[in-house]
Amino acid sequence: VAGSFSVEANADKMVQKLKSEGFNAEKFVTSKRNFFYVSYGAYNDRTEATREMNRIKAGGKENVWILNY
Protein backbone atom coordinates (compact mmCIF):
# COMPACT_ATOMS: atom_id res chain seq x y z
CA VAL A 1 0.00 0.00 0.00
CA ALA A 2 1.25 3.44 -0.89
CA GLY A 3 -1.21 5.36 1.27
CA SER A 4 -4.67 5.67 2.76
CA PHE A 5 -6.87 8.71 2.38
CA SER A 6 -10.14 9.95 3.81
CA VAL A 7 -10.70 12.13 0.72
CA GLU A 8 -11.18 10.19 -2.51
CA ALA A 9 -9.72 12.97 -4.68
CA ASN A 10 -6.42 12.69 -2.79
CA ALA A 11 -6.34 8.94 -3.43
CA ASP A 12 -7.02 9.57 -7.11
CA LYS A 13 -4.06 11.99 -7.26
CA MET A 14 -1.79 9.38 -5.68
CA VAL A 15 -2.94 6.73 -8.18
CA GLN A 16 -2.10 9.04 -11.08
CA LYS A 17 1.30 9.91 -9.59
CA LEU A 18 2.23 6.25 -9.14
CA LYS A 19 1.00 5.35 -12.62
CA SER A 20 3.19 8.10 -14.05
CA GLU A 21 6.11 6.42 -12.22
CA GLY A 22 5.33 3.11 -13.92
CA PHE A 23 3.41 1.33 -11.16
CA ASN A 24 0.17 -0.56 -11.75
CA ALA A 25 -1.50 1.50 -9.01
CA GLU A 26 -5.13 1.13 -8.05
CA LYS A 27 -7.54 2.53 -5.49
CA PHE A 28 -9.77 0.43 -3.26
CA VAL A 29 -11.93 0.68 -0.14
CA THR A 30 -12.06 -1.93 2.61
CA SER A 31 -15.33 -2.86 4.25
CA LYS A 32 -13.86 -2.27 7.73
CA ARG A 33 -12.93 1.40 7.30
CA ASN A 34 -14.06 4.32 5.24
CA PHE A 35 -10.62 5.02 3.81
CA PHE A 36 -9.50 4.97 0.22
CA TYR A 37 -6.34 2.89 -0.09
CA VAL A 38 -3.86 3.19 -2.94
CA SER A 39 -1.79 0.16 -3.81
CA TYR A 40 1.29 -0.14 -5.97
CA GLY A 41 -0.30 -3.22 -7.49
CA ALA A 42 -1.99 -6.52 -6.72
CA TYR A 43 0.06 -9.62 -5.97
CA ASN A 44 -0.74 -13.32 -6.01
CA ASP A 45 0.70 -14.13 -2.60
CA ARG A 46 2.49 -12.62 0.39
CA THR A 47 5.93 -13.70 -0.89
CA GLU A 48 5.45 -11.80 -4.12
CA ALA A 49 4.05 -8.78 -2.25
CA THR A 50 6.99 -8.78 0.18
CA ARG A 51 9.51 -8.97 -2.64
CA GLU A 52 7.87 -6.03 -4.42
CA MET A 53 7.59 -4.04 -1.18
CA ASN A 54 11.32 -4.49 -0.56
CA ARG A 55 12.10 -3.39 -4.13
CA ILE A 56 9.94 -0.28 -3.72
CA LYS A 57 11.58 0.56 -0.39
CA ALA A 58 15.04 0.10 -1.92
CA GLY A 59 13.97 2.66 -4.53
CA GLY A 60 13.52 5.28 -1.82
CA LYS A 61 9.85 4.97 -0.88
CA GLU A 62 9.81 4.21 2.85
CA ASN A 63 6.08 4.36 3.67
CA VAL A 64 5.07 1.08 2.06
CA TRP A 65 3.15 -1.72 3.73
CA ILE A 66 1.24 -4.89 2.90
CA LEU A 67 -2.49 -4.99 3.51
CA ASN A 68 -4.23 -8.36 3.51
CA TYR A 69 -7.50 -7.68 1.76
Q: pLDDT per position in the chain (69 positions), as tens?
A: 999 999 999 999 999 999 999 999 999 987 677 889 999 988 989 999 999 999 999 999 988 989 876
The structure's pTM equals 0.83
Q: Residue 41, by phi and psi: left (phi above 0), alpha (psi -120 to 50) or beta?
A: left
Residue 34: the pLDDT is 82
β-strand partners of 37 = 4, 28
